[in-house]
Copies of this chain bind each other. A is one copy, B any other.
Amino acid sequence: MPTIVVEVMPKAELLDPQGKAVAGALQRLGKSEFTSVRIGKRFELTVDGPVDDSVLADVRDIAQTLLSNGVIEDVVAIRTEDAE
């Protein structure tokens, strides 16, 4: 069945304490080539049936309303992955 992937990241202007913690850990490990880390979410929605325009419109709506908080997060990608 096809899977639709929705990716959500914290807005660029907001602090991301989780990401900061990982970036700090990388510095302590000597991996100084990584200057910043941000952590967001990845949703996999399994669709029963074909992915047509109406399903994609539904997903865009769901991504904005249910999967992300528009005050602090941006939906950065919505893409369809090959059927399994």
> A-side interface residues toward B, CB under 8 Å?
1, 7-9, 19, 22, 25-26, 29, 31-49, 55, 58, 62, 66-67
A1–B70 CA distance with the chains assembled, in angstroms = 26
Total identical chains: 2
Which B residues are in CB contact (< 8 Å) with A33?
A: 47-49, 55, 58
Q: Can you list 12 pairs linking A and B with CB atoms under 8 Å apart? A: A1-B35, A22-B66, A22-B67, A31-B58, A32-B48, A34-B46, A36-B45, A36-B46, A37-B45, A39-B44, A40-B43, A40-B44
- 8 extra interface residue pairs, beta carbon distance < 8 Å, beyond A39-B41, A41-B41: A19-B44, A22-B66, A33-B48, A34-B47, A35-B46, A35-B47, A40-B42, A40-B43
